Amino acid sequence: MAFLIYNLVLAISSPVIALFILHRVLVSGKSRKAWRQQLGGVALPAQLDGMERVWIHAVSVGESVASATVISELKEMLPEVGVVVSTTTETGQEMARKSIGDADAFVFYPFDILPAVWRSLRCVRPAVFASTDTEIWPNFRHIARRMGVRNAIINGTVSDKTIRGAARAPWIYKWTLSNIDRFCMQTQADADRIISLGAAPGRVIVTGNCKADQCGDPLGEAEKARIRSWFKLPEGARVFVAGSTNPGEDEPVLDAYIAARRSHPELRLVIAPRQIERREEIASLARERELTCGWRSEPESITGDEDVFILDTFGELASAYAIGDVTFVGGSLIPKGCHSILQPIAQGKPVFFGPYTFKAKDLVSQARAAGVGFEVQDGADLGRQIDGMLGDRAALEDVRARCERLMRENEGAAKRTAEALVELYNERGR
């Protein structure tokens, strides 16, 4: 009955759906390259002929990166199986192709209308289908189950927004979740929430956050000393590291630094812009505030007496977090969605972020619950909070221990998730 009602609603809404698809193709351009596959016109490379397949759908750009660790583990456990990765957006696919080296094919996920879903599944013919996060797509799950495909959600979270949405149409969730064989959730709270939405308790397990497996161990003292030498930091200098800042965030970060430095004159700022070509722009903003600057890419520009060090090099931010006493992650004071907060947490550092965290909601939720992530509203709020944190050595040590515990709890999440998918693969046909 739920299947009929859902598709009746889609049929009634078909003119609107058609306009939506046309807008994505012709106006916004978001489906200009993808629309044929999103309508079911998928073609796989010949190398997958005759192979059993596992289909992994990465819901977002961030989940594409998280999927990489799961797929690596899966390919070790099932080397004979082909892995097909899908994304919804062209940006997501671009990131997936860069970050998932073990995938055998990349496709676009179909619109949740019956012809598109049927054609896609008939082409890919997966033994197991798994999607990250908690996007459910009712028709896809229903048709996949009818075709004998084992279904899973991996790296699953359930946000407040999902709970509110489910309250408006609980029957859709209960029907869709009944077609899913395994729910690999990040935390026990997520597990409890998915059960409250209708998932069978026996199908729900807690595997942890797969993104945590991408980070290494905290750097040792010798390595930290080497990184401090990049900036010729004097003994006793404390450091505020602001990573992945975007236009519109450098000013509040600089103002927060100035505010915190009134109580902590030994404090220095390392700022790593998301776009390293903006270094001159940031230096100009600093000079307007009577701050001196040095550039990591030009060691001769650094004497150690500078107020601000601009990290204008690739691949060094994760290490730089290790020398921070406090940290901030950009993309969060502007509506960009927040960049990864895992790198500072992996180094045992308190991480501050703005209110725009929709692209990192799972990690932000875990960090806040663990007492290692702290939301700020603007530069003034950031200045107050880092000032308070710097003035409390016991709090910093407590955060370090909490970070270690959070990373330990999530360690091995990708392997546990891959094992759950292998279990489903071995159950196929039963």
Instruction: Give the tens place of pLDDT for each residue, 294-316.
Output: 999 999 999 999 999 999 998 89
The 10s digit of each residue's pLDDT in 233-260 is: 999 999 999 999 999 999 999 999 999 9
- Amino acid 149: pLDDT: 96
- Amino acid 429: pLDDT: 59
The count of C-alpha atoms lying within 13 angstroms of the C-alpha of 110, restricted to the half-sphere facing its C-beta, is: 25
Q: Is the pLDDT of residue 169 over 90?
A: no
The 10s digit of each residue's pLDDT in 220-240 is: 999 999 999 999 999 999 999
Query: pLDDT grade, residue 63 (50/70/90)?
Result: confident
Q: Give the C-alpha separation, 160 to 165, whole Å.
A: 9
Q: Give the C-alpha separation, 264 to 110, whole Å.
A: 54
Q: Give the C-alpha separation, 60 to 363, whole Å.
A: 14
Query: pLDDT grade, residue 20 (50/70/90)?
Result: confident
Strand order across the 308-310 sheet: 293-295, 308-310, 267-273, 238-245, 326-329, 351-353, 373-375
Residue that is written with structure tokens 């046909």 in the block: 429
Question: 102: helix, coil or strand?
Answer: coil
Q: What is the DSSP letter of 237?
A: -
Looking at every residue in the chain, the average pLDDT score rounds to 92
Can you list the domains of the chain with their CATH numbers?
A: 47-208+412-427 (3.40.50.11720), 221-409 (3.40.50.2000)
Strand order across the 150-156 sheet: 105-108, 82-87, 53-58, 128-132, 150-156, 182-185, 204-206
Residue 113 phi/psi, 5-degree rounding, is -110, 145
Q: Is the pLDDT of residue 25 over 80?
A: no
Among 91-95, 185-189, 314-318, 420-424, which stretch is predicted with the lowest mean pLDDT?
Answer: 91-95
- Amino acid 14: pLDDT: 81
Q: Is the pLDDT of residue 55 over 90?
A: yes
**Contact predicate 371/350, CB 8 Å:** no
Phi-psi region of 237 (alpha: psi -120 to 50; beta: other; left: phi over 0): beta
Q: Give the C-alpha separation, 243 to 229, whole Å.
A: 19
Query: pLDDT grade, residue 139 (50/70/90)?
Result: very high
Q: How far is CA 122 from the centre of its chain?
A: 30
- Amino acid 327: pLDDT: 98
Whole-model pTM: value is: 0.80
**Contact predicate 68/365, CB 8 Å:** no
Query: Which tokens is 337 given?
Result: 């969605």
Q: Average of pLDDT values for 273-279?
A: 92
Task: For residue 50, give Cα distances in angstroms to 39, 149, 317, 427.
Answer: 24, 17, 44, 19
Q: Is the pLDDT of residue 175 over 70?
A: yes
Kindly give, in sequence order, each residue whose CB lies less than 8 Å from that of residue 87, ignoring residues fewer than 6 positions away: 57, 58, 64, 93, 95, 96, 106, 108, 109
Question: 212: helix, coil or strand?
Answer: helix
List the beta strands (DSSP E) in 200-275.
204-206, 238-245, 267-273
Q: What is the DSSP letter of 351?
A: E
- Amino acid 159: pLDDT: 79
Q: Average of pLDDT values for 125-130?
A: 96
Radius of gyration of the chain (CA): 24
Residue 295 phi/psi, 5-degree rounding, is -115, 130
Q: Nearest to residue 333, comparing CAs of 299, 315, 316, 356?
A: 356
Query: Which tokens is 28 given?
Result: 């916004």
Query: Which tokens is 89 given?
Result: 């957006």
**Contact predicate 353/338, CB 8 Å:** yes
Residue 375 phi/psi, 5-degree rounding, is -85, 140
Question: 176: helix, coil or strand?
Answer: helix
